[in-house]
């Protein structure tokens, strides 16, 4: 761990964007690149994370910093590949692969996941093939091109989308969260629907609950990041 080496934290603005300064020295990424931010809200969120550090700096407690650094240091150098990975998630999206049994879970999935697919159809003109079981099924050929366009070329947004798809197991849920169609709490419930169903039926052990609690925190952090990106 690195001990806290600064006293003050502030967010500032330049002619081209926003920044965070530690004791009047502008913060850089782990790769020593300039940390230029697109919105004041994102700079403020980042400054709050650094200001909240105690005697030692805990990177795990700074999810916004991780997403920003990933955007600048990694996504910027591999934008096409990162967008492609997000699009690939949609091809095997969790919402498309339903349980075959028990009937109660089948109904639960349909009632909760199908409205999100309907939203994606109305919002983005994306149609998906839903199946039961785990065997892969082909999705409409034009989905990939549409999702690539939807993801766009902004490295900060793409960083959040790619992270969200992996975190939620669903590119579709990530778009719904980023668009404000669902809340962080709803995203957590939908992305962990099967696990929560099993807990309701059979109970849960401490390890499973701890894992779910961390997922909930990660989704809340992602939602804050998406909100901070909006003008």
* DSSP codes, 110-129: HHHHHHHHHHHHHHH-----
Which helix (DSSP H) or strand (DSSP E) does residue 11 occupy? Answer: strand 9-13
Does residue 71 lie within any of the structural domains? no
CATH number of the domain enclosing 223: 1.10.3580.10
CATH number of the domain enclosing 37: 3.30.2180.10
What pLDDT, on the 0 to 100 scale, is given for residue 89? Answer: 93
- As for how many domains the chain has, the answer is 2
Grouping H, G, I as helix, E, B as strand and the rest as coil, residue 222 is: helix
Does residue 63 lie within any of the structural domains? no
What pLDDT, on the 0 to 100 scale, is given for residue 231? Answer: 84
Does residue 104 lie within any of the structural domains? yes
Same domain, residue pair 96 and 19? no
What are the angstrom distances between the C-alpha of 33 and each of 12, 36, 105, 189? 17, 9, 48, 37
Same domain, residue pair 126 and 39? no
Same domain, residue pair 48 and 155? no
Does residue 224 lie within any of the structural domains? yes
Please report, for the chain, how many H helices and E strands are present, in that order: 10, 7
Q: How far is CA 38 from the centre of its chain?
A: 18
What pLDDT, on the 0 to 100 scale, is given for residue 142? Answer: 94
**Pairwise CA distance, residues 110 & 7, whole Å:** 52
* Torsion sign, CA atoms 82, 86, 91, 93: positive
* Residues in contact with 169: Cβ distance below 8 Å, sequence separation at least 6, in sequence order: 89, 93, 94, 191
Among 91, 101, 27, 94, smallest CA distance to 65 is for 27
What pLDDT, on the 0 to 100 scale, is given for residue 146? Answer: 97
Does residue 144 lie within any of the structural domains? yes
End-to-end CA distance of the chain: 35
Does residue 66 lie within any of the structural domains? no
Same domain, residue pair 80 and 48? no
Same domain, residue pair 35 and 129? no
Query: For the chain (length 231 residues), average pLDDT per consecutive 10?
Result: 93 94 96 96 98 96 97 97 96 95 96 98 96 91 96 98 98 98 98 96 90 97 97 84
* Torsion sign, CA atoms 145, 149, 154, 156: negative
Domain that holds residue 49: 1-53
Give DSSP secondary structure letters for 166-212.
HHHT-HHHHHHHHHTSS-HHHHHHHHTHHHHHHHHHH---HHHHHHH
Does residue 61 lie within any of the structural domains? no
Same domain, residue pair 135 and 205? yes
Express each pLDDT in 102-140 by its tens digit.
999 999 999 999 999 999 999 999 999 999 988 889 999
Same domain, residue pair 36 and 84? no
What pLDDT, on the 0 to 100 scale, is given for residue 134? Answer: 84
Same domain, residue pair 41 and 103? no
Residue 20 has phi, psi (to 5 degrees) of -125, 135
Does residue 170 lie within any of the structural domains? yes
What pLDDT, on the 0 to 100 scale, is given for residue 158? Answer: 98
Same domain, residue pair 211 and 178? yes
What pLDDT, on the 0 to 100 scale, is given for residue 1? Answer: 74
Same domain, residue pair 223 and 151? yes
């Amino acid at each position: 761990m690195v001990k806290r080496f600064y006293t003050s934290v502030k967010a500032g603005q330049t002619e081209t964007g926003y920044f965070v300064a530690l004791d009047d020295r502008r913060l850089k990424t782990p790769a020593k690149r300039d940390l230029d931010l697109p919105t004041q809200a994102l700079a403020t969120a980042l400054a709050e994370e650094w200001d909240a550090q105690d005697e030692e700096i805990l990177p795990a407690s700074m999810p916004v910093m991780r997403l920003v650094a990933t955007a600048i240091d990694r996504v910027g150098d591999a934008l096409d590949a990162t967008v492609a990975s997000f699009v690939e998630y949609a091809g095997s999206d969790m919402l498309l692969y339903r349980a075959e049994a028990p009937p109660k879970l089948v109904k639960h999935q349909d009632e909760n996941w199908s409205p999100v697919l309907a939203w994606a159809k109305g919002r983005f003109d994306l149609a998906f093939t839903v199946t039961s079981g785990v065997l892969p099924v082909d999705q409409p050929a034009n989905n990939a091109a549409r999702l690539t366009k939807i993801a766009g070329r902004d490295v900060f947004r793409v960083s959040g989308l790619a992270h969200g798809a992996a975190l939620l197991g669903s590119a579709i849920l990530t778009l719904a969260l980023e668009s404000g169609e669902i809340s962080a709490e709803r995203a957590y419930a939908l992305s962990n629907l099967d696990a929560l169903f099993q807990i309701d039926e059979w109970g849960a052990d401490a390890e499973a609950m701890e894992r779910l609690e961390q997922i909930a925190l990660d989704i809340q952090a992602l939602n804050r990041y998406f909100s901070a990106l909006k003008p």
